[in-house]
Amino acid sequence: MKKPILFIKSLIFASVLFVGCDSSDDIECPEALTGELSEKETSFTGTWSLISVVTEDEIDLTDDDTDNPTTDLYSQLSDCENDMVYTFENDRTYTQYLGKNAEDCDYQQEITGTWQLTENNNLVFVTNCTSGGYSIEFNEEETEFSFESTYDFTDVDGYTITSKTTFTYGKSI
């Protein structure tokens, strides 16, 4: 079944908000983020793993001969597809891994770059000759962060559903 792999590739693209580009003479790539970490950034460093993907609209991604749409996309994906991890380092570098920790993953990816967390909770990235980011929200204990955006999904019947989606990551201790 290829739909989940296509779905997860689109999540990688969506979760980092970047597209690689050719660094020819016509394109000026953004400089890597540098400088000392703020106190807020220092407490943010570490490993954050995807723990939830929730949509506003119910979607059925499973090809299980049962009509069972749900807003919980995380429960519909395999361990490999849910294996998305960010590691934020003290030197402002980060790595995003897909399919590295789960067993027997056919599709693995590693994206690297630099990061910054602003006082307004904007998580900014520079990677692949591109910069981008998203506004994140922390839970009260600051052990989870989430961000949301609107994405197009193709359900098991081939219909496209556009839905606001919330990704939540939990900090490893």
Tens of pLDDT along the chain (173 residues) come to 444 444 554 555 444 444 444 445 578 899 999 999 999 999 999 999 999 999 999 999 988 888 889 999 999 989 999 999 999 999 999 999 999 889 999 889 999 999 999 999 999 999 999 999 999 999 999 999 999 999 999 999 999 999 999 999 999 97
Instruction: Give CATH for domain 3-16+28-171.
Output: 2.40.128
Buried b (16+ CB within 10 A) or exposed e, 94-121: bbbbbbeeeeebeeeeebebbbbbeeee
Give 133's contacts (C-beta < 8 A, 6+ positions apart).
17, 122, 123, 124, 125
pLDDT in tens, 122-145: 999 999 999 999 999 999 999 999
Provide the 10 A C-beta neighbour count for residue 157.
8
**CB contact at 8 A, 116 and 88:** no
pLDDT in tens, 30-55: 999 999 999 999 999 999 999 999 99
pLDDT at position 13 is 45
DSSP string for 78-99: -HHHH-EEEEE-TTSEEEEEES
121 token code pair: 């909770």
- Show me where the domains of the chain are located: 3-16+28-171
